[in-house]
């Protein structure tokens, strides 16, 4: 690019934005890419965690209700919350128990013969830790805001990076593949830019499909859906790591730890009349051949309130591949099916979100989806590491090393329009942009040494 190229001021300005966005985002990119790549394999990891409870003999098998009774005997005072059907013949059933006095809930594994084999605290699972780090940085709601802020700036980082990468008349070397004979600096530059070219599209999809989960963006999206009448049934994804209210998500009956039915509610109603029991409902659930995991929730447990406001038995698939999910409700007195809700019954907006979440979690189309997710994560890590190396190699001593501001004012009307559009769609990006502008306009002029270290332009220099 020649010195007289009219795009140079714009290029320099966007380069500075790209640099500062990278400083904010790169540490989070590394953390989220690693935890996200691990979470792609949640089904395999959880099956490995439960390996001691699989491949068991099936002779002399007892009923599901007897298995629940054994679990309750092993944990006195606990309450039955849900029953997970075995994934394969010979696997133990998993009975989720809520405990009193604030004690940790347990997933109890009971053999086909009714022997309690062991238990796991749901919150102590490896993938639960990965999920909490990935979505909340182990900081709760505040952590989810930080992740959402980083994701918002990551969008700016990717879009500005694509502008900087744009070929502008060059050949394919250094654009589609890196040049290997031009020295280390050129290699690292090409590795950063070329990886960005191949990964940016997939990374943008990951960022956009994560937004419905975000606390601030997701809450605004939920409010908009409600206002527009786009809601059909309860939302089945969390907001900022927490189940949305009212109704919660579809995992609430298994993961939430509110009230649950006593064991006696499985066999008798309050008036003593015959009631559909767990064994009958489990048999019906097995006949449905739903996608694993299949959860049976008794009347009185979270998620058992039917559309008519009556407590019901609920059988549902909690498959991560959301298009496979189905929820069926049964009358607690007769066992008659009274409702069925599948993915196709959801509003089209929720179906789009469901496809996006299934893609994001690597479960939409099997191992190929997982492989694409892993390659995307590796690409993001390569971009983050190569960007850090480039910064360290060009950073002057005693300076942050930000790209110098343009010598002439940049014509950035179109860029500002794009940035304002992004800010309008991403509340935390808008708030952080305002904070950064106020800092640069009101604070930095009074801190000349800090301004020099940051590479900030003077009031008479180009905005950037």
Q: Which range among 26-30, 47-51, 446-450 shows the weakest confidence by mean pLDDT?
A: 446-450
Question: E-assigned strands of 88-211?
Answer: 93-98, 106-110, 116-120
Count helices and strands in the chain by DSSP H and E runs: 14, 8
Burial classification of residue 338, based on how many CB atoms lie within 10 Å of its CB (0-12 exposed, 13-18 middle, 19 or more buried): middle
Burial classification of residue 461, based on how many CB atoms lie within 10 Å of its CB (0-12 exposed, 13-18 middle, 19 or more buried): middle
Q: Say if residues 288 and 328 touch (Cβ distance below 8 Å).
A: yes
Residue-level pLDDT at 176 = 81
Q: Say if residues 69 and 262 touch (Cβ distance below 8 Å).
A: no
Q: Say if residues 312 and 332 touch (Cβ distance below 8 Å).
A: yes
pLDDT band at residue 101 using 50, 70 and 90 as cut-offs:
confident
* pLDDT, tens digit, 9 for 90 and up, residues 237-281: 888 877 765 443 333 333 333 333 333 344 433 334 446 799 999
Global confidence as pTM: 0.85
Residue-level pLDDT at 274 = 44
Residue-level pLDDT at 368 = 97
Which residue shows structure tokens 């940051």?
A: 454
CA atoms lying within 13 Å on the CB side of residue 333: 6
* pLDDT, tens digit, 9 for 90 and up, residues 421-457: 888 889 999 999 889 888 878 888 888 888 888 876 6
């Amino acid at each position: 690019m020649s010195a007289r190229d009219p795009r140079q001021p714009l290029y320099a300005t966007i380069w500075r934005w790209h640099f500062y966005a990278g400083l904010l985002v790169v540490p989070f990119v590394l953390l989220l890419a690693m935890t996200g790549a691990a979470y792609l394999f949640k089904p395999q990891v959880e099956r490995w965690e439960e390996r001691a409870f699989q491949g068991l003999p099936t002779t002399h098998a007892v009923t599901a209700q007897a298995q629940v009774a054994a679990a309750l005997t092993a944990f006195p005072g606990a309450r039955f919350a849900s029953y997970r059907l075995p994934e394969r013949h010979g696997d133990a059933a998993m009975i989720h128990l809520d405990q009193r006095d604030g004690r940790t809930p347990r997933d109890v594994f009971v053999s086909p013969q009714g022997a309690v084999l062991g238990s796991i605290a749901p919150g102590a699972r490896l993938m639960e830790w990965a999920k909490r780090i990935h979505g909340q940085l182990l900081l709760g709601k505040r952590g989810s805001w930080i992740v959402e802020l980083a994701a918002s700036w990551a969008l700016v980082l990717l879009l500005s990076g694509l502008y900087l990468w744009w070929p502008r008349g060059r050949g394919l070397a250094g654009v589609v593949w890196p040049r290997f004979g031009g020295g280390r600096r050129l290699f690292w530059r090409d590795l950063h830019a070329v990886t960005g070219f191949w990964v940016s599209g997939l990374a943008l999809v990951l960022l956009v499909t994560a937004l419905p989960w975000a606390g601030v963006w997701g809450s605004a999206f939920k409010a908009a859906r409600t206002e527009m009448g786009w809601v059909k049934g309860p939302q089945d994804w969390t907001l900022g790591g927490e189940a949305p209210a009212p109704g919660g998500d579809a995992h609430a009956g298994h993961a939430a730890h509110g009230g649950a039915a006593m064991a006696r509610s499985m066999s008798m109603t309050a008036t003593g009349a015959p009631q559909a029991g767990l064994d009958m409902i489990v048999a019906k659930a097995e006949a449905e051949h739903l996608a694993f995991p299949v959860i049976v929730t008794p009347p009185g447990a979270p998620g058992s309130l039917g559309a008519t406001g009556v407590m019901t038995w609920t059988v549902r698939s909690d498959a991560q591949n959301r298009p496979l999910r189905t929820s069926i409700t049964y009358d607690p007195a007769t066992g008659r099916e009274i409702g069925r809700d599948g993915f196709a019954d959801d509003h089209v907006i929720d179906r789009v979100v469901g496809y996006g979440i299934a893609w994001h979690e690597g479960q939409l189309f099997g191992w190929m989806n997982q492989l694409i997710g892993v390659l995307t994560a590796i690409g993001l890590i390569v971009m983050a590491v190569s960007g850090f190396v480039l910064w360290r190699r060009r950073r002057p001593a005693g300076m942050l090393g930000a790209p110098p501001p343009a010598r002439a004012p940049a014509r950035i009307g179109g860029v500002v329009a794009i940035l304002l559009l992004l800010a309008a769609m991403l509340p935390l990006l808008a708030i952080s942009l305002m904070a950064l502008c106020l800092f640069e306009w009101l604070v930095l002029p009074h801190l000349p040494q800090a301004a020099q270290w940051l590479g900030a332009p003077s009031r008479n220099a180009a905005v950037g």
